[in-house]
Structure 1
Amino acid sequence: MNDLEKRKQVYGICGECNEPGTGFLWCQPCNSKRSVDNFKNWTSGNKDIDKFIQQLQLNAVHCKNYFEWMIPFENFKDITYITRGGFGKIYSAVWPERYIEYWDIENQKWKRDLKGIASGLLDIHNSGKVHKDFHSGICQPANNEKQSVKQKGIYGVLPYMAPEVLRGYQYTKACDIYSFGIMMNEYISEETPYNKIPHNHALAIKICKGLRPNTFKYTPKLLADLITKCWDAKAENRPTAKELYQKLGQLSDFDDEYDYKIKLNRTSEKRSNNIQTHPQAIYTSRLLNFKNLPEPVNLGAIQSTLFSEGFDCQLDESDLNEMNQDDENNIE
């Protein structure tokens, strides 16, 4: 935006230089100076690459333009070997610190985002598109050559799929929000959803009848309420991607406090790191085809807990007969 008055209205005034911002919570001149001051503290080992990264940092008009270097190797967690490429080995890893969002003037440090996934989902929805396969597992091509064109069904990972999708209804933005809620709970609880039971027709029925993953008991209430709203059985009750992003933004000032409390309580609870996953719990995208699933409803928290642990399956005789007849054919 070249119009200074319009920039002032949209992005506000920088708290350091008192000039209009160049992006949301971002001032290019001030952050460029910080980048220059930090150039002496890092190098990629290649002058051309250094120059390229430096130019990206200097020209960044908002956080999504900012290319950060470097991230110390010891800051990565859960480093996992994937495969060997033509020029080296490939690994995946988790970066708990997350990317830079804005400069915290009061505390004189970079503020890092917890809501990056929500931001990405908002970008997808703002462009008029739907993700359709939103989960933390492994995706496979929807046009996998092993799948016949004649095969009918839905494609995805069962634990993350909204109940209306399981019943064959069209995938909508609200379905992505449901998946986001499942992923939020997974991140906080550090436990994949429904990992102790088979991901089959019986689970699809239970999800439609209100089953949801157990929330970690020390989850802050504001986050627990947001998660519950995301996976509401009625799509119209779920927040939009914009509302989700804004709500997480309102909680951003408490991110560090929330992370600390969750990690502290998780440690004190001495949760097992050796969680046994059921052999039929599948977290890769696949073709699914379920029939005669019930109308989606919500369950209370206590009832849902009993339900997930097998104490209250709530399956009537017709459900059982349907599963026995079609279970093998319903999952490709």
Structure 2
Amino acid sequence: MAPEVLRGYQYTKASDIYSFGIMMNEYISEEIPYNNIPHNHALSIKICKGLRPNIFKYTPKLLADLITKCWDAKAENRPTAKELYQKLEEFRRFDNEYDDRIKLNRTSEKRSNNIQTHPQAIYTSRLLNFKNLPEPVNSDVTETTLRSECFDCQLDELDLNEINQDEENNTE
């Protein structure tokens, strides 16, 4: 979900482009976004502060750049559907060997299909009513890895409970 939608704004073509970038990355990486962390208010804050899924390291630069543009925090900086079509068509013309290369890389790594999903990672539609989310910004981290390792900390869950409690006390 685009940061502006998390903040309560309406869905737009630009927010659909953000979602398209998420799906394109999911298709290429064969990984569900944010599968290792709870889908809660803290994740929404992190997304507004620039958190994005990791881009699979074998993603061609043209596609990685396109995905990153789709995820821009400012909706007006995202490509249009026409621009997406043109870039994807350009990629198709110049890189017909991509499928074979990606299959070879995945086979050589012997990636596991048994990805563990956090029990609070929810992938069904639901109403999100988060208040006071920060203004969306882009992350300055452009690292591409197979997995995010920054959320393996057990304290994260405890910190989130404290944050939620503080926010509830401030809104009353």
Normalising by the smaller structure, the TM-score range is 0.7 to 0.9
**3-state DSSP of counterpart to 2:27:** helix
Displacement of 1:326 in angstroms is 5.7
Q: Does 1:240 align with 2:92?
A: no
Q: Indicate yes or no: 2:6 matched with 1:169.
A: no
Instruction: Give CA deviations for 1:156-202 in whole Å, capped at 9, x if unaligned.
Output: xxxxx000110111221100000000000000000000001111111
Listed one character per residue, the Cα deviations across residues 230-283 of structure 1 (whole Å, up to 9, x for unaligned) are 001111110001110111111122453111111211111221111111111111
Q: 2:151 aligns with which of 281, 290, 310?
A: 310
Whether 1:278 and 2:118 are equivalent positions in the alignment is: yes
Secondary structure, aligned partner of 2:14: helix
1:209 is aligned to 49
Aligned AA for 1:191?
Answer: E
Contact 1:177 1:241 in 2 (8 A): yes
Note the C-alpha offset of 1:308.
Answer: 6.5
Paired residue type of 1:238? R
* Aligned counterpart in structure 1 of residue 26 of structure 2, from 186, 191, 211: 186
TM superposition outliers: structure 1 runs of 4+ over 3 Å: 302-308, 319-322
How far residue 324 of structure 1 moved from its aligned partner, in angstroms, is 2.6
- Mapped partners of 1:191, 1:207: distance in 2: 18
Residue 255 to residue 196, structure 1, CA distance change in 2 (3 Å): same
Distance of 1:304 and 1:264 partners within structure 2: 18
Partner of 1:90: none
Q: Which has the higher contact order (CA 8 A, sep 6+)?
A: 2
| Aligned positions of 1:1-332 closer than 5 A | 161-254=1-94, 256-299=96-139, 300-302=141-143, 309-310=150-151, 322-325=163-166
Q: Is the 8 A contact 2:57 2:144 kept in 1?
A: no
The one-letter amino acid of 2:86's match is: Q
The structure with more strand, counted as a fraction of residues: 1
Post-superposition Cα deviations, 1:137-160, rounded to whole Å, max 9, x if no partner, equal xxxxxxxxxxxxxxxxxxxxxxxx
| Contact 1:212–1:308 (CA under 8 A) maintained in structure 2 | no
2:150 alignment partner AA: E
Unaligned runs of 5+ in 2: none
- Name the aligned partner's letter for residue 3 of structure 2: P
Contact 1:210 1:296 in 2 (8 A): yes
Give the alignment's TM-score, normalised by structure 1: 0.45
Distance 1:255 1:307, change over 3 A: closer
Equivalent pairs, count: 162
Shift of 1:301: 1.5
* 3-state SS of 2:25 partner: helix
Structure with max Cα Rg: 1
Secondary structure of 1:286's counterpart equals coil
Deviation at 1:309, TM superposition (A): 2.0
Identity %: 77
